Amino acid sequence: MVNLGVIFPPDLAPEQLREVAMAADESGLGELWLWEDCFAESGIATAAAVLAWTERLRVGIGLLPVPLRNVALTAMELATLGRLFPGRLVPGIGHGVLDWMGQVGARVPSPMTLLGEYATALRELLHGQTVSTSGRYVTLDAVGLTWPPQVVPPVLVGAVGPRTLTLAGAVGDGVILTGGTTVEQVSEAVRQVRAGGRPDAEPEVVVFVTVAGPPVATDVATEVSRFAAAGATTVALHSVGENGPPLAEFARFAGSEVQPLLG
């Protein structure tokens, strides 16, 4: 069965997060997804808060821009959350919006190279390995986590183009696809991720789907099912438009009305 989630977008103030998280958790919704857009909310801080406030909700972060974060620090933060809330964290990483990376002096000549080196080192650290590497961008000298997570969270990679989709399969545990991705594009993206992936692993495939205006449960469930049939393992709903309900109400709607229709 496909996992169903709701997105808390970065254009909402952080103080609105608790009400949405509690509504999602109490309604039985599977997941809540957070964004780390420059220069809005931190993905790590918001994930920690949601995990602490809720009992069972799976929390996704899409995406942590890797040029902003040393990989050892990211590994420490994710490992800590993974040990405190085992099995409930789904972090995603990406090369970030290049103009924003330029604003903070973190833009690199080869974002793909950085993303590949970073994802490889991050997964190795989270799996308890002691890592030494000297890449173009990632350098570690016998670095290992004192407290690696006992339940290792999957590391998902944000991807759009064919090269990044293949990279996501090769170095990550799955992929996060952007909003606006069509059902047909999901099918092709899944094929490309699997082509680049490890033969012993089935990738997670997260797609963000926009819901505009007042939602109808049967219509939303039908749309979610279409993406699931194309290979999505998680569909995260993004409520937009002035006619839509407040996000906490939308989260309750998704958990109590849409999720039961998905089987």
Instruction: Give the separation between CA 133 and CA 116, rounded to whole angstroms.
Output: 13
The CATH number of residue 84's host domain is 3.20.20.30
Q: What is the pLDDT of residues 214-234, one digit of tens each?
A: 999 999 999 999 999 999 999
Q: What is the pLDDT of residues 161-172, one digit of tens each?
A: 999 999 999 999
pLDDT at residue 176 is higher than 90: yes
Residue 187 is predicted with a pLDDT of: 95
Instruction: List C-alpha distances in Å: 206 to 189, 227, 236.
Output: 11, 10, 7
The length of the chain, given as a count of residues = 263
Average pLDDT, the chain: 95
pLDDT at residue 3 is higher than 70: yes
Residue 215 is predicted with a pLDDT of: 95
Q: What is the pLDDT of residues 116-154, one digit of tens each?
A: 999 999 999 999 999 999 999 999 999 999 999 999 999
Q: What is the pLDDT of residues 55-106, one digit of tens each?
A: 999 999 989 999 999 999 999 999 999 999 999 999 999 998 999 999 999 9
- State how many domains the chain has: 1
Q: Provide the H-helix boundaries in 144-244.
A: 162-171, 183-196, 217-229
pLDDT at residue 243 is higher than 90: no
Residue 241 is predicted with a pLDDT of: 82
The one-letter amino acid at 17: L
Q: How confident is the model at residue 53 (pLDDT cuts 50, 70, 90)?
A: very high
Residue 200 is predicted with a pLDDT of: 67
Residue 202 is predicted with a pLDDT of: 85
For 144, the domain range is: 3-262
Instruction: Give the separation between CA 113 and CA 126, rounded to whole angstroms.
Output: 20
Neighbours of 98 (CB within 10 A): 14
pLDDT at residue 242 is higher than 90: no
Q: How confident is the model at residue 201 (pLDDT cuts 50, 70, 90)?
A: confident
pLDDT at residue 196 is higher than 90: no
Q: How confident is the model at residue 29 (pLDDT cuts 50, 70, 90)?
A: very high
Contacts of residues 83-89 at CB distance under 8 Å and 24 or more positions apart, as own/partner, are 83/147, 83/149, 83/150, 84/51, 85/51, 85/52, 85/59, 86/149, 86/150, 86/151, 87/58, 87/151, 88/51, 88/56, 88/57, 88/58, 88/59, 89/47, 89/51, 89/58, 89/59, 89/61, 89/153
pLDDT at residue 27 is higher than 90: yes
Residue 28 is predicted with a pLDDT of: 96
pLDDT at residue 199 is higher than 80: no
Inter-residue contact 170 to 197 (CB < 8 Å) = yes
